[in-house]
Amino acid sequence: MRVGYYPGCSLENTAKEYDLAARLVTNHLGIQLVEIPDWNCCGATAAHSTDHLLAVALPARNLVIAEEMGLDITVPCAACYQRLRTAHRELTENRAVAEEVAGVLGRQYRGTVRIHSLLETMADVGFDVLSAQVVNPLKGLRVACYYGCLLVRPPSTGCDDPESPQLMDRLVETTKAEAVRWGYHNECCGAALIFGAREVALKLVQRILRNAVDTGAQVIACACPLCQSNLDIRQGQVNKAFGTNFAVPVLYFPQLIGIAMGLAPRDLGLETHFVDPQKALRIVSG
Amino acid sequence: MLLGKSQIDPGFLASTARASGQDTLSHCYQCGKCTAGCPTAFAMDYKPNQIIRLLQLGHKEKALGSRAIWVCAGCFTCTTRCPCGIDIAQVMDNLRIVARQEGRTGQGKRAVLFNELFLRSVRRNGRVFETGVVAAFNLKIGKPLHDTELARFMLKGRKLRFVPVRIRKTAEMAGLFAKRKKG
Ligand code: SF4
Ligand code: SF4
């Protein structure tokens, strides 16, 4: 399988371990990722809360590049994923917007690119195929799969059921780990508020961590650089603000799958997390 | 919700409905489902259902001047559950856009500053230079040492870049930003 890869800005910066793990694991599974050449930022929250045209035009440029190369796109970041899907929807359903965007872009988008989250791309390989690759089963590890918002909402762009998503749980279960049932799997972590209204964001993080721990999860798995950094690196600030003592490792789902496939923890960037996940993983890998 | 006297703009409902593409905005019957599921309602002055009510009543000033539109996290829970099919998250976006265009961002100063610095970086580089944006933001809010413990951690993991990554065709960015509405 050959598919266009849109890493997004975070994966070049604070979430480089997600990029490492995504590339390594897909490669191991025989998926060829072709990075969209000269891709640009999707604009994220900054663009869509500021200007509607810009919020569509920024992702549109990436869609056009992929289309010209005849590639579909897989996206590891939930926010980029949702921006690309939303732009695709607007450009194919709203003529006025499509014309305006074509005007500033100097190129027309025909609407032929299919945009998938990395979760879908991995699931497409087949759960049985994934299971067959497991050499280091994560038996006994209790994982809380965290989807957050933009992978599953709004329903018009989401890649799974908005209220009870399953994709990540099923992927994680191929490693023989236990995906726990918990209530906060699709609650918002407030990443978009971390600069504008930090006290509110920290409260949301605190609730999610609390619920994960109460369910008995040893680690949280996620599929978004913004969720991961919000839930992982803010734990110190949460503990300070709420008098708690959380120390829950937050991993990217391909890191867990990679470990189960016997890939080296170092190559998967496991040593770059705020809360070190290696102790929790040693429980299972002896 | 006690509203007291304020200017009424009867056209604001229609203009918001048009700009956000929400034909059913007037159908809201205050069931409260949006607010019940909203993760940040606890920090809002007007709750999401009240914001919609303000629009129906033409209370433009109150809606634009609310803290609510700036603590909305854009999570789409409201949108997913509204029985009238109203994309409330999109309406919130439009209110932020209009508030900015009309210079009424008093309740959202930090969010607006961050967005501005973020977009400036994208315009210049084609991608956002996280380190630069965060440093500029901290400097502007007068907390240059904000998050230094995190910066130290990221340095250790080599997660901080010190030079932006630029795309080849940065000139195309100027085109995309050219028609951006002023505000
Ligand atoms: S969920 Fe929809 S109908 Fe119910 S109060 Fe909110 S906007 Fe109105
Ligand atoms: S999108 Fe905003 S208003 Fe709607 S539920 Fe989420 S935080 Fe609340």
Residue B15's CATH number: 1.10.1060.10
Give tens-digit pLDDT for A115-153.
999 999 999 999 999 999 999 999 999 999 999 999 999
Q: B120 CB contacts (<8 Å, ≥6 apart)?
A: none
Between CA B38 and CA A86 the distance in angstroms is 21
Considering the domain architecture, whether residues B97 and B28 belong to the same structural domain is answered as yes
What band does B144 get if pLDDT is binned at 50, 70 and 90? confident
Taking residues A223-243, what's their average pLDDT? Answer: 96
Considering the domain architecture, whether residues A11 and A44 belong to the same structural domain is answered as yes
Residue A126 lies in a domain: no
Between CA A260 and CA A122 the distance in angstroms is 15
Give tens-digit pLDDT for B39-82.
999 999 999 999 999 999 999 999 999 999 999 999 999 999 99
Query: Between residues 30 and 89 of chain B, which touch chain A (CB distance below 8 Å)?
Result: 39-40, 42-43, 70-71, 73-77, 79-80, 87, 89
Kindly report the protein residue whose alpha carbon is nearest to atom 4 of ligand 2.
B78
Residue of A nearest to B99 (CA): A50
B138 touches chain A (CB under 8 A): no
A204 touches chain B (CB under 8 A): yes
Domain boundary among B38, B73, B101: B101
Kindly report the protein residue whose alpha carbon is nearest to atom 1 of ligand 2.
B74
Report CB contact under 8 Å: A14, B93.
no
Taking alpha carbons only, the member of B83, B41, B62, B177 closest to residue A104 is: B177
Strand order in the sheet with A178-179: A178-179, A142-146, A219-222, A250-252
Residue A245 lies in a domain: yes
Check pocket membership of B32 for ligand 1, CB cut-off 6 A: yes
pTM of the model: 0.95
Considering the domain architecture, whether residues A165 and A246 belong to the same structural domain is answered as yes
Between CA A263 and CA B112 the distance in angstroms is 43
Tell me the pLDDT of chain B averaged across its residues: 91
Answer for the pair B127, B165: CB distance below 8 angstroms, yes or no.
yes
Tokens representing B167?
Answer: 């795309």
What band does B105 get if pLDDT is binned at 50, 70 and 90? very high
Considering the domain architecture, whether residues A164 and A225 belong to the same structural domain is answered as yes
- The separation between CA B75 and the C-alpha centre of its own chain, rounded to angstroms, equals 11
ipTM value of the model?
Answer: 0.95
Q: A99 CB contacts (<8 Å, ≥6 apart)?
A: none
Considering the domain architecture, whether residues A266 and A144 belong to the same structural domain is answered as yes
Domain boundary among A93, A118, A143: A118
Residue B1 lies in a domain: no
Considering the domain architecture, whether residues B120 and B41 belong to the same structural domain is answered as no
Total domains, chain B = 2
Residue B2 lies in a domain: no
How far B110 CA sits from the closest chain A CA (Å)? 5
Kindly report the protein residue whose alpha carbon is nearest to atom 6 of ligand 2.
B75
- The separation between CA A119 and the C-alpha centre of its own chain, rounded to angstroms, equals 8
Tokens representing A217?
Answer: 């999860």
Domain membership of residue A237 as a residue range: 134-285
Taking residues A263-278, what's their average pLDDT? Answer: 93
Answer for the pair B60, B14: CB distance below 8 angstroms, yes or no.
no
Residue B50 lies in a domain: yes
pLDDT confidence of residue B107 = 95
Kindly report the protein residue whose alpha carbon is nearest to atom 2 of ligand 2.
B72
Q: A44's torsion region: left (phi>0), alpha (psi -120 to 50) or beta?
A: left
B172 touches chain A (CB under 8 A): yes
Considering the domain architecture, whether residues B85 and B164 belong to the same structural domain is answered as no
Residue B61 lies in a domain: yes
Considering the domain architecture, whether residues A144 and A215 belong to the same structural domain is answered as yes
Of the listed ranges A151-155, B127-131, B142-146, the one predicted with least confidence = B142-146
DSSP-assigned letters across all residues of A7-40: --GGGGTTTHHHHHHHHHHHHHTT-EEEEPTT--
Total domains, chain A = 2
Between CA A25 and CA A133 the distance in angstroms is 11
Ligand 2 midpoint to CA B89 (Å): 6
pLDDT confidence of residue A286 = 43
Residue of A nearest to B160 (CA): A13
Answer for the pair B39, B77: CB distance below 8 angstroms, yes or no.
yes
Considering the domain architecture, whether residues A142 and A278 belong to the same structural domain is answered as yes
More reliable by pLDDT, A284 or A113: A113
Considering the domain architecture, whether residues A170 and A98 belong to the same structural domain is answered as no
Residue A205 lies in a domain: yes
pLDDT confidence of residue A148 = 97
Domain membership of residue B86 as a residue range: 7-101
Side chain identity, residue B2 = L
Considering the domain architecture, whether residues B18 and B95 belong to the same structural domain is answered as yes
Between CA B53 and CA A224 the distance in angstroms is 34
Percent of chain A surpassing pLDDT 70: 99
Taking alpha carbons only, the member of A267, A276, A238, A196 closest to residue A22 is: A267
Ligand 1 midpoint to CA B20 (Å): 16
A239 touches chain B (CB under 8 A): no
Taking alpha carbons only, the member of B93, B75, B38 closest to residue A150 is: B75
What band does A284 get if pLDDT is binned at 50, 70 and 90? low
